[in-house]
Chains A and B, each alone.
Chain A
């Protein structure tokens, strides 16, 4: 089985390639990236005017499996991922039950192989039950294939517990992902603390809660000389702390979401919980800092924090609705529309943050179009105009803040292991 992708602009940040070329796929591997490849026996895909990139990678999603499959499962979530141009995603462990042992890791990997149309990596919990008290069996989970560890959704409040995790995991070469948010400062908060929350009479989540947590975790990582990854960074000061720490050689990295790159607290609508998200939408100043951090390398990768919820959970009073919304199917379109087409961030940089950078950070054998690499490829039409329609989502989640928005640019084909999984927004079963 051969596929020949003809005439696209190939952007392969891992190999510093950005040129018009053909990509030949043989079986499930990249066979060549060259100009004017001739392969008579190959199925030809015309990519003229399109962008050909390594399959997108999202290292922060919530698949709700096990336990809350009515919100999402590997079948629906992976199809949403493929529709969004993703070929690999990582599932966070704050499920019911919490993924804190190797049996669950192995079981979920098996389920992913059976039900999912994209590659799903499993992130294990750092502490038992994500309670922040005792380390979970992170060594055993590492050997069972956990890609990283996180108590996502919860800050590891006890500094000694996080320090133990950092020390213990060093020989296993796995990163801890920190949900950095000092919890006593955000109790009952439902949006960013600022001028808008003050006038709405709403309890806010102050930026300082994230700043403090990020600073502490950086200091612990520095002390342990071990890697820490800051999940969904959202404040100006936190970005500054990461920047300064990187300069002095701390093994710290950070990720940002499309919504914290493009939306602010001014867009919060108390009648529509679509904009309720944690960390919350911040200020213009924070947003500018996110973009600056992305460009100067302080922020390493872009993640969706895809967090689907059931319709009845989201369609209610803002205060009582859960945080989060589905992001896999809109991420690329939003980034292209608000960052690329506005000239704020160039295309190769965006692609790098969604392919090569996360692959390198988490030690994945993906995110590249190198010869013999697995043929995971996304083809993007940066000019196609479309309107976000929740009824066409593959995710079971609803209440996207981007619903109804006109976007410019979308993935038009997702190829996984050399097989076309998504074409023109439709999953090919």
Chain B
């Protein structure tokens, strides 16, 4: 570890606004060690043996939930999944009561995905187990923000002075907000672009954050482009006229990509709307790190779980 005085032990992972650059650095360093484990034949270490983690998911999710589940299991923790559709939640049990029930079972950490902004923070007030926010409404998705940083570091070697374009539905994107917090803390310039109806009206431009009407302006000379997922169900409420028009004016295609730096890194939190928000040739180009992000996601989540549950002191067990 670079900075021995930094510890995340017992810290609720609620949003990157609550992280210091040193804490982010600690997670990224730890994730690097964790990534080695994923490449092993036997992907199991005893770092979290005896710890119990619950994935409490109020919204459907494939990659985030399984990423956290595997992260816990690779580290030897006992992991259970509770999803809204197959639990007492459908009987009308309140979030508070569900949390208290989980707490009584001796759970050490609760990884929580919820539609309501602030739900993870609320959970942290209600129960003692460490809370990891796996997405709360359009507010935050800190582990995604961290894995994006990890991926950028992997390809770019560092952060300072990089230009990152975040394209698409910023209004509804927890990924965008976590990126903004995380990237600004690490010295990356953030350029946002997309339809004005998908841009928060009061997301003001402050130091290092720029808002553009034309995505070409955001992409120009960019080191990193993060394409956000457009939620089709929102499209029905008339926030943009059609997917066809979106593709023509705001879609990331090869032509637009040529405005960016030659070695630009393409990211996407997934799942992708290929063909209109991002063209397949861009999504699968050599500049794309979209598949690598998935792998990095597991490593970053392994790092987070280890750091919050053991402070990283068991890291010697890993090797």
**A312 at interface, CB cutoff 8 A:** yes
Beta-carbon contact of A317 and B95 below 8 Å: yes
| Chain A residue at minimum C-beta to C-beta distance from B206 | A195
Residues of A within 8 A of B118 (CB): 200, 202, 270-271, 317-319
* Shortest CB distance A253–B (Å): 31
- A318 touching B122 by the CB < 8 A rule? yes
A-B contact count (CB 8 A): 68
Residues of chain A in range 307-343 having any CB-CB distance to chain B below 8 Å = 312, 315-320
Q: How far is the CA of A105 from the CA of B236 in the complex (A)?
A: 44
Closest A residue to B177 by beta carbon equals A201
Contacting residues, chain A, for B138 (C-beta < 8 A): 201-202
Q: Which of A206, A317, A320 has the most CB of B within 10 A?
A: A317
Interface size on B, residues (CB 8 A): 26
> Does A198 interact with chain B (Cβ within 8 Å)?
yes
1/0 per position for B117-139, CB-CB distance to A under 8 A? 11101101100000000000111
Q: Are B139 and A201 neighbours in the complex by a CB distance under 8 Å? A: yes
**Whole-angstrom CA separation of A336 from B203 in the bound complex:** 36
Q: Chain B nearest CB: distance from A92 CB in Å?
A: 27
User: At the interface, yes or no: A199 with Cβ under 8 Å from chain B?
Assistant: yes
A227 to B302, CA, bound (A): 65
Q: Is the CB of B116 within 8 A of A317?
A: yes
* Contact status A198-B202, CB under 8 Å: yes
Q: Given A270-B118, A270-B121, A271-B121, A315–B96 Cβ distance below 8 Å?
A: yes
Given A195-B202, A271-B121, A271-B122: A200 and B139 within 8 A (CB)?
yes
Q: B309 to chain A: which residues have CB within 8 Å?
A: none
Interface string of A281-319 (1 = CB under 8 A from B): 000000000000000000000000000000010011111
Given contacts A201-B140, A201-B177, contact A318 B116 (CB under 8 A): yes
Q: Does B258 belong to the interface (CB within 8 Å)?
A: no
Taking the complex as formed, is A153 at the interface, i.e. its CB lies under 8 A from any CB of chain B?
no
- Cβ contacts under 8 Å, A195 to chain B: 202-204
- Contact status of A319 and B202, CB under 8 A, knowing A201-B139, A201-B174: no
Q: A199-B177, A270-B121 are in contact. Are A193 and B114 (CB under 8 A)?
A: no
Is residue B286 within 8 Å, beta carbon to beta carbon, of the partner chain?
no
Tell me how far the C-beta of A398 lies from the nearest C-beta in chain B, rounded to whole angstroms. Answer: 14
Among B138, B177, B202, chain A packs the most CB atoms within 10 A around the CB of: B202
User: Is B200 on the interface with A (CB-CB < 8 A)?
Assistant: yes
A202 to B115, CA, bound (A): 11
Report whether B139 and A194 are in contact in the complex, using a CB–CB cutoff of 8 Å. no
| Bound CA–CA A198/B174 (angstroms) | 11
Chain A residue total in the interface (Cβ 8 A) = 20
Q: How far is the CB of B184 from chain A (nearest CB, A)?
A: 12
Query: A197: CB under 8 A from chain B?
Result: yes
> Given B94, B116, B203, which contacts A319 in the complex, CB threshold below 8 Å?
B116
Bound-complex Cα distance A421 to B136 (A): 48
Give bound CA distance, A109 to B63, whole Å: 59
Q: Which residue of A lies closest to B124 (CB)?
A: A271
Those of A180-194 within 8 Å (CB) of chain B: 193-194
Q: Is the CB of B202 within 8 A of A318?
A: no
CB interface residues, A 387-422, toward B, < 8 Å? none
Q: Is the CB of B202 within 8 A of A200?
A: no
- Distance in angstroms from B139 CB to nearest chain A CB is 4
Are the CB atoms of A320 and B116 closer together than 8 Å? yes
A199–B171 Cα gap in the complex (Å)? Answer: 10
Do the beta carbons of B95 and A316 come within 8 Å of each other? yes
Of A198, A204, A206, A271, which one neighbours B125 at CB under 8 angstroms?
A271
A202 touching B119 by the CB < 8 A rule? no
- Shortest Cβ gap from A315 to chain B (Å): 6
Does B201 have its Cβ within 8 Å of any Cβ on chain A? yes
* In the complex, chain A residues whose CB is within 8 Å of the CB of B204: 195, 198
Residue-by-residue, is A76-100 near B (CB-CB < 8 Å gives 1, otherwise 0)?
Answer: 0000000000000000000000000
Contact A316 B94 (CB under 8 A): yes
Task: Select the residue from A201, A270, A316 with max chain B CB neighbours within 10 A.
Answer: A201
Cross-chain contact A202 with B122 (CB below 8 angstroms): no
Best-surrounded residue of A197, A199, A315 (most CB of chain B within 10 A): A199
Interface string of B82-96 (1 = CB under 8 A from A): 000000000000111
What 1/0 flags go to B14-33 for Cβ under 8 Å of A?
Answer: 00000000000000000000
Smallest CB separation, A49 vs chain B (Å): 42
Contact B117 A318 (CB under 8 A): yes
- Report 5 cross-chain contacts, Cβ distance below 8 Å, ordered by A residue: A195-B204, A201-B174, A271-B125, A316-B122, A319-B118
Closest 3 CB pairs of A and B: A270-B118, A201-B138, A198-B200
Known: A201-B140, A201-B173, A316-B95. 12 other contacts (CB 8 A): A195-B202, A195-B204, A202-B117, A202-B118, A206-B201, A270-B121, A312-B96, A315-B96, A317-B122, A319-B116, A319-B119, A320-B116
